[in-house]
Structure formats: C-alpha cells, structure tokens
A and B are shown apart, each in its own frame.
Chain A
C-alpha cells in the first residue's frame, strides 16, 4: 500500500501526473460546487436563509470563483488533459522534462491545499477571485492566502508551459509535421504561449497587493501616490487571456471528440489552427478593457477595445464553423462523450452570442456587474468548459482505466446536468437584465427576481443530481467496468491506434511509424 502510494506521489510518468491533476481538480470542483449550492440555497428567498452573516456568503463566493477557475478548469485542461493526451497524441514516450512535470503537479497540490486552508483559518479571504484593492488591502480577511495560492498555481503553469512547448517542438514522432498535429495539441501550444506571456503579469499584481497589505507599500493607495486602477488593469491584462487558456483547450478536446464520433476529418484544418487559434492569440492581449468599461478609463480606450473585443468574434466564429463543419458528411454516433461535445457547442453558442451585448461598451453600462455577466460567462466558459472536461473524462475513460463506463448511466448524468445548467444560467441572465447586481448576499431592493432565484436554486439541485450520477458512474466503471479494447471508438489518432489501454510507462510497445498519408483524422479513405 505504502509502496503503491509512493509510486503515485513520486511518479514522473506523464499519464500518472495527469491523473494526479485530474483528482486534484475534481476535488476542487466538488468543493467549489458545494459552495455554489450553499449560495443558491441562501439566495432562494429574500432575507437570511442559511446564514445571517453576509461575510460567510462572501467567503463561499470567493472560494467558488477562485477554486473553479484556478483549481479546477485551468489545471483540468492544461494539467490533466495536456499531460494525458499530448505525449500520446504526438507519439512521444513522455514529456521533455518528466521531473519538472512532477514538480508542477506538486505545486498544484500545494496551491489546492493552501486554498482549502480558507475553511480553517480564522479570517478567511473574502476578496472574490479578482482581489481588487483597496478592498483587498483593507479587509480583515487574509488576502495573503489568495496571493500565495495564485503564485503557486501560476508558477506551476509556467513550468508546465516550458515543458509542453519543448515537448511538442522537439518530441513529435518522425513524419509528424505541424499540419498533422491533433487540434488539441495545437490548442495546448497556443494556451501555454498565452500562459508564458501573461501569468507573470498576474504574479506581479498579486505580489504588489501583498506588499501593500502587509509591508506598507502604497502601489494602490491614492492617498500616498498610488492608483487603484493599476491593479485592475494588470489583473485583467492576465485574466482575460486566461479565459482563452481555458477556452482553447476545451474547444481543442471537443474537436477530438467530434472528429472521433463523427469519424470525419476536421473541417478546414488550417482555418481552425491559423485563423481560429492564431487569431485568438493575436487578439488575446488587446481586449482586457472590456472588463473595465465602467471603471472610468479614458473614452478612447474604452471605445477602442470595444472594437477589438467585437473582432474576437472572427476567430471564435471560425472555430465554431470548423466544429460544426466536422459534422458535415460525417457518420455521427451518439455516445456519452459526443453528447457532452454537442453540449459544448450549444452552451458556447449561447455564451458567445450573449457576449456581444457585453462587448458593446454602451450596453455594458447597464449590464456590467449584474447577473447578466455571471450568466454569460458561465455559459461561455464555466459550463461549456466543464462539459468539455466531463466529455473528455468519458472519452479517455477506457484509455485511462482499461475499462468501460456504463453508457446509459452516462447519458442520464449528461441530460440532468444539461437541463440543470440551463435552468440556472438562463434565469440568471434574465435577472441581470432586470438590474440584479452580482455578488449580493441579499436582494431586498429587487423583489421582482425572487421567482427567478427560486428557479435557479431548483436548477442547481438538478445539476447536483446529475453530477452525483456522473461521479458514481466513473467510480463504478473504474472498479467494475467491462474490460476496454485498445481503440473502442475506432479513432485514427495515435493514443488509440498505437498504444494499449491503459498505456504502459513509455507509452508505445513499438515506436509509432507514420506513413506519408497518416493523419489523426484519416477517415473515409476506404470509401
């Protein structure tokens, strides 16, 4: 037992590192999800329901946001999925720096443990995941736990970035040109380029916050020559690109699932990679001001970034065309992973389109910081991303465990979460149009949204039921599922065709040999 545990904790095998990331990020998802349930119950009726202490609510909300983004989505996509898939997809035996990889996952776990300290320290952080000063430097809450959690996870990301870029650049199987990479591998390359450029900016911002609060500097204190807006600019200069660090990998894995279950070539591959991913990379750093439309910045800056923000619809539209185009003349089989992938398309479509009013600075003057914003970003990023991650776990389940999950239980879990998500986030946007501001413990001034709030709380319980069904299905499948063949889906990608399920250390019994016609999407060649 001790030896088995040690073999996992001190592993340098990319697949085990990936699974360690998965376990940690699902734990963060579960706890942050419980926080969401507590908040939903609290908001069911006007007045105190679960606690009469707004501070308690603020801590739940802080943890929900910070843990879902920094502890669940980014690590699940760029930790778990990148680790598990990238070396297998490019035909490499492991990542370029396996021990650096182990350090990344340790730092991630340290970050998760530090975040969990929120529940045991006397004055937990209550600064929301954005940590704006001067509130963050004045509060009695322990902002240091926020800063150090961000720094640990950020450092972990930078190490991952160095590792994966090196891996993809130098360790592709012979014959695998850049235009034959899996779309997911491309998405990870672009996501890590974004991380390497922008994470240091976030690190700077939260470190300055730490200095202001504990060491007496005055970077953000106007009474002593500082400026409160510097932080907001630095924070969003990272945190908007961070949205793409989540978006690109979740669309990337959705492409893999759609191509596999439609048994079809990715539609217009070069448009997807260079137009879609490339366009997002180009625009990622020029749109952060749309988070600050009401922050009193100069008008030219707000109007200018309204235009760049709207232009994001070009690469994102191309990515959607590629995804739906991959269905065209395919042969679509509706297994559980495919349902989740189609769910991603649905949520991302609604989320993307409801982003357009937010992008328009003048419409945002009403919508900013209302329920419309969390409604929108849950659709576009939180829910779409989570569906991609859940779909990916189902997709890789036979490869990771060597066993099959239960198909109809998987579909039941999908439909419950799918319906529940719409019951929560559609009413949330409607309440936002009514003017209901976000981050409210109570809403006595907005009695007209009480019915919507109750619908949302009901929807949250449906999501909970769906998540429990899904979790139960995974545990059952891993322990008792029927043995899985090496390639249950009939995919053409290397992780399915060249490696057994689960792959041994070193991945491939024989080094993969790629013919000139090889492609991860070489479907329909026999016809």
Chain B
C-alpha cells in the first residue's frame, strides 16, 4: 500500500512524504505528523470557508431588495452550463478529497505501523482504572512508566465495558473492549508527565478514569523497571507458597 501511494505522490502533488515526516533515528513520530497535517487542514478549510462566506456576503449585499415589487431575474442555464455547474465543482471537491485522503492515509500508516524495538506493555481496562503489565511481570495501575526515546506499544483489552485509552499529548487513542485485542503506539521523546483520559463513555466514574504517562530518563527507568520486576517476582512467589 505504501509503495503504490508513493508512486501516486507526484500525480497528487504530495510534497515528499515519508522521509520528511521521519523523526530522529528514522522512527516517525505520529504526534508531530498529526500537528503538521492539522495545520495544513486548517489552512485548507479556512480558505474554502472564507471564499464561500465572502461570495455569500457579496450576494447578500449586491442583490438586496430595493423596491417592494422587485423580483429576481435569474440566469437561464443552458444544458451545458447546468451540467458544467455540477461536474466542475464535483471534480474540484473530489480533487481536494483525494489529496486530503492521501495525506491522511500516509499519516495513518505511521499510526498503525509499530516500529521495531518498541516497549510492549499490556493494558487491561476496567471500570474505572487502567492496569499496565510489563514484559517482566511488573504491574502498575493508572501510571504508565516508560523510558524517553523508545516507542511504546500498548496491547489492550477490557475486563468489563468499552473504554478508550486517550493520551492527548501524543494525539492518539484506541478503544479497549472485552473479547478483542486492540493496539496503539506512541513515541515519548523527552522526560515528563502526560494525562491519560478515558474517551469512551463507561458510566459513573467515566470522567475520573484518569491516569498518567510518566516518561523517565532511560537510566532511571531501567532502575525502576528492575526493582518493579523483582517486586512482581516476589509477589508471585508469595502467592505460590500460599
């Protein structure tokens, strides 16, 4: 799919896609791509809106009624003009549609193609909390600790109803639901904290189903990860003895 799009690119006037959107170390950052596409989109729709509104406002002024008995004198469209007024705008709109669809698809590929070497974390959502399970067995609730500079993949399912794991700062969400496994990935680059919110209505405490992504320095993360893994092992042993 990627290849065919790149071949189409010159036809659709796409400015050099994949390479330009790539982030550091060749891994693209969908969040940055989102911001760029959003800006282009705003220009696109603002332009259409302003032109349309200006024409309408001009007609409203120019063709206001001047005498009570006045009537309009509409142009009589011949067959050619009538068909032209349908076909030409249709193709103009379609051109914009396909242009935007191609750009949206390009970004979509980034969102859905998980880079190699991502940290894979399992997410179980439940009314009303997020439980993250790491490859070494470490478990956290409502706190997703990740190292800076490494993509993170969440494999998600739900223990009860549909939830949606939303990280506004990384411009990404995907629903989690019982009976299916869904995924999302994001690319945390700098240490810091980011809000996690539930974006699919799930009842009483839907608005309180909040969490945090805590991006740590890689060394600090490694230390935390080892300690959390040991605690998980100890807990598993305790359970085994009982």
B208 touches A354 (CB 8 A): no
A354 touches B45 (CB 8 A): yes
A361 touches B173 (CB 8 A): no
Q: Does A201 contact B (CB under 8 A)?
A: no
Q: Mark B52-69, 1 if CB is under 8 A from A, else 0.
A: 110110011001111000
Q: Which residue of chain A has its CB nearest to the CB of B75?
A: A329
Q: Which of chain A's residues have a CB closer than 8 A to the CB of B101?
A: 306-307, 310, 360
Q: Which of chain A's residues have a CB closer than 8 A to the CB of B75?
A: 328-329
Q: Mark B178-215, 1 if CB is under 8 A from A, else 0.
A: 11101000000000000101111111111110100000
Bound: A330/B65 CA distance, A: 8
Bound: A265/B107 CA distance, A: 45
Cβ contact of A222, chosen from B70, B93, B164, B178, cutoff 8 A: B178
Q: Does A411 contact B (CB under 8 A)?
A: no
A314 touches B97 (CB 8 A): yes
Q: Which of A159-167, A191-199, A236-244, A436-444 contacts B (4 or more CB under 8 A)?
A: A436-444
Bound: A294/B37 CA distance, A: 18
- Min CB gap B94→A, angstroms: 6
A328 touches B63 (CB 8 A): yes
Q: Which residue of chain A has its CB nearest to the CB of B176?
A: A296
A369 touches B85 (CB 8 A): no
B111 touches A268 (CB 8 A): no
A138 touches B161 (CB 8 A): yes
Q: Which of chain B's residues have a CB closer than 8 A to the CB of A524?
A: 71-74
A229 touches B77 (CB 8 A): no
A135 touches B173 (CB 8 A): no
Cβ contact of B111, chosen from A342, A365, A523, cutoff 8 A: A365
Q: Which of A296-325 contact B (CB under 8 A)?
A: 296, 299, 302-303, 306-307, 310-311, 313-314, 317-318, 320-321, 324-325
Q: Which of chain A's residues have a CB closer than 8 A to the CB of B217?
A: none
Q: Which of chain B's residues have a CB closer than 8 A to the CB of A314?
A: 90, 93-94, 97
- Min CB gap A324→B, angstroms: 5
Q: Which residue of chain B has its CB nearest to the CB of A328?
A: B59
Q: Does A134 contact B (CB under 8 A)?
A: yes
Q: Which residue of chain B has its CB nearest to the CB of A310?
A: B97
How many chain A residues sit at the interface, stated as a range, is: 35 or more
- The count of chain B contact residues (Cβ–Cβ below 8 Å) is 78
Q: Which of B82-97 contact A (CB under 8 A)?
A: 82, 85-86, 89-90, 93-94, 96-97
Cβ contact of A328, chosen from B74, B108, B179, B208, cutoff 8 A: B74
Q: Which residue of chain A has its CB nearest to the CB of B107?
A: A362
Q: Mark A434-456, 1 if CB is under 8 A from B, else 0.
A: 11011111111110000000000
B178 touches A365 (CB 8 A): no
Bound: A302/B174 CA distance, A: 13
Bound: A441/B207 CA distance, A: 6
Known contacts A307-B101, A437-B197: A318-B207 contact under CB 8 Å: no
A55 touches B200 (CB 8 A): no
Q: Which of A340-361 contact B (CB under 8 A)?
A: 342, 345-346, 349-350, 353-354, 356-357, 360-361
Cβ contact of B199, chosen from A332, A334, A369, A523, cutoff 8 A: A369
Q: Which of chain A's residues have a CB closer than 8 A to the CB of B177?
A: 228-229, 295-296
Q: Which of chain A's residues have a CB closer than 8 A to the CB of B197?
A: 435, 437, 445-446
Q: Which residue of chain A has its CB nearest to the CB of B156?
A: A296
> Given A55-B204, A311-B94, 15 other A-B contacts at CB below 8 A?
A58-B203, A58-B204, A132-B162, A135-B162, A223-B179, A228-B177, A263-B72, A268-B86, A324-B52, A324-B56, A356-B100, A368-B164, A435-B168, A437-B199, A444-B210
25 A-B interface contacts by CB (under 8 A): A134-B161, A135-B203, A223-B178, A229-B180, A268-B82, A294-B175, A294-B199, A307-B98, A317-B93, A318-B89, A329-B72, A330-B74, A332-B63, A342-B60, A360-B101, A362-B30, A363-B104, A369-B166, A434-B168, A445-B197, A446-B197, A523-B71, A524-B72, A524-B74, A527-B71
Nearest 9 CB-CB pairs, A to B? A222-B179, A435-B168, A264-B72, A360-B104, A296-B182, A440-B207, A362-B107, A330-B72, A310-B97
Chain A residues proximal to chain B, CB less than 8 Å: 54-55, 58, 126, 128, 132-135, 138-139, 222-223, 226-229, 262-265, 267-268, 270-271, 275, 294-296, 299, 302-303, 306-307, 310-311, 313-314, 317-318, 320-321, 324-325, 327-334, 342, 345-346, 349-350, 353-354, 356-357, 360-363, 365-366, 368-370, 434-435, 437-446, 523-524, 526-527
